[in-house]
């Protein structure tokens, strides 16, 4: 089973730092504790309150946020806090006591949003669904996602892409979105509201989500081995392209850069994969931006699976 790892994430409030985990800590719920007495329901929060600079502890789906007193500066203590949280979790420490967790349905809203790909509809929830993106081309690939498996039982569902708080569904041509959107939206909403798993938390073998997380970790480690231009391309994709692509229900990943041919290869996922307008997006959007920002170093962008 994959161990917990913690990433330190600064926030807009200087006194608050987020400690993001690579797995979910709670199921769709959020908690706020202002002192150790209030934290009776959270053994983890109680442990953190033994640190004299901890003022408030917030626990949400995949992170712990801590507000500190001014007696210390975060750069001096944040690494030790991150290590304490990861050690606690990896020793099997309880985040929220089961008996204290709320029962019953979780209030959830889901709305449908069209994408540039007419064959794909994006279903957006007001809850975080996954930590790492997952793409399923068929029901066999979806064994680590109980939600995806159930969605594939709808005869018109062709492919599924899940990321953050949305699900992109590609349909077969046999169905019209006007006839099936409401059915899918209500099914997804009810499924999440009942507290069901989107991605299986633990499997005997590494889950698809864990494989994606491992791939992302490997990519991060290999980033230092990239040439200077490739690093600039990755930075441009992350800052300027990914947010726009995600808003359309898709994702884009850097694959490679060839300095001799001045060609960038990318991987398109979700609504972007197979989209009739993806060629235009590549040529008029991504390619133009990279040409302008990396003059004389990039001439062409190709999608290796798009």
Q: What does the pLDDT look like over 115-137, one tens digit per residue?
A: 888 899 999 998 888 888 888 99
Q: Please, which residues have CB within 8 angstroms of residue 178's CB and are 6 or more apart in sequence?
A: none
Q: How far is C-alpha 257 from the chain's CA centre?
A: 25
Instruction: Quote the CA–CA distance of 114 and 249 in Å, as a whole number.
Output: 9
Residue 262 CA: distances (Å) to CA of 2, 133, 291: 38, 29, 10
**Within 10 Å of residue 169's Cβ, how many Cβ atoms?**
28
Q: Please, which residues have CB within 8 angstroms of residue 8's CB and are 6 or more apart in sequence?
A: 17, 18, 19, 20, 78, 79, 82
* Residue 3 pLDDT level (bands cut at 50, 70, 90): confident
Across the strands, what pairs with 208? Answer: none
> Taking 70 as the threshold, does the pLDDT of residue 218 lie above it?
no
Average pLDDT, integer, range 289-306: 81
Q: Which of the listed ranges 164-178, 218-232, 280-294 does the model predict with the highest average pLDDT?
A: 164-178
Residue 296 has what pLDDT? 87
Instruction: Quote the CA–CA distance of 113 and 54 in Å, as a whole number.
Output: 41
- Locate tokens 């994430």: which residue? 9
Q: Which of the listed ranges 19-23, 79-83, 275-279 does the model predict with the highest average pLDDT?
A: 79-83
- Locate tokens 């992109």: which residue? 168
């Amino acid at each position: 089973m994959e161990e917990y790892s913690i990433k330190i994430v600064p926030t807009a409030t200087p006194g608050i730092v987020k400690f993001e985990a690579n797995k979910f800590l709670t199921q769709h719920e959020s908690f706020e504790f202002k002192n150790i007495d209030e934290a009776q329901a959270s053994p983890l929060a109680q442990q953190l309150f033994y640190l004299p600079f901890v003022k408030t502890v917030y626990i949400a789906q995949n992170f712990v946020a801590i507000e500190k007193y001014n007696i210390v500066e975060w750069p001096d203590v944040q690494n030790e806090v991150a290590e304490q949280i990861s050690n606690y979790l990896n020793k099997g420490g309880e985040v929220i006591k089961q008996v204290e967790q709320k029962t019953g349905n979780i209030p959830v809203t889901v709305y449908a949003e069209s994408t540039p790909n007419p064959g794909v509809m994006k279903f957006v929830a007001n809850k975080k669904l996954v930590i790492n993106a997952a793409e399923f081309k068929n029901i066999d690939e979806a064994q680590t996602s109980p939600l995806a498996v159930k969605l594939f039982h709808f005869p018109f569902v062709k492919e599924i892409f899940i990321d953050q708080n949305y699900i992109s569904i590609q349909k077969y041509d046999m169905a019209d979105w006007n006839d099936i959107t409401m059915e899918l939206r209500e099914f997804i909403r009810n499924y999440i509201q009942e507290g069901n798993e989107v991605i299986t938390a633990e499997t005997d073998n590494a889950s698809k989500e864990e494989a994606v997380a491992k791939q992302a970790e490997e990519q991060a480690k290999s980033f230092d081995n990239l040439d200077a231009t490739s690093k600039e391309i990755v930075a441009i994709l992350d800052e300027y392209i990914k947010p726009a692509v995600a808003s359309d229900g898709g994702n884009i990943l850097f694959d490679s850069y060839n300095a001799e041919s001045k060609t960038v290869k990318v991987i398109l996922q979700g609504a972007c994969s197979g989209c009739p307008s993806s060629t235009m997006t590549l040529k008029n959007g991504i390619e133009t931006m990279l040409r302008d920002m990396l003059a004389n170093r990039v001439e062409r962008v190709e999608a290796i699976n798009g």
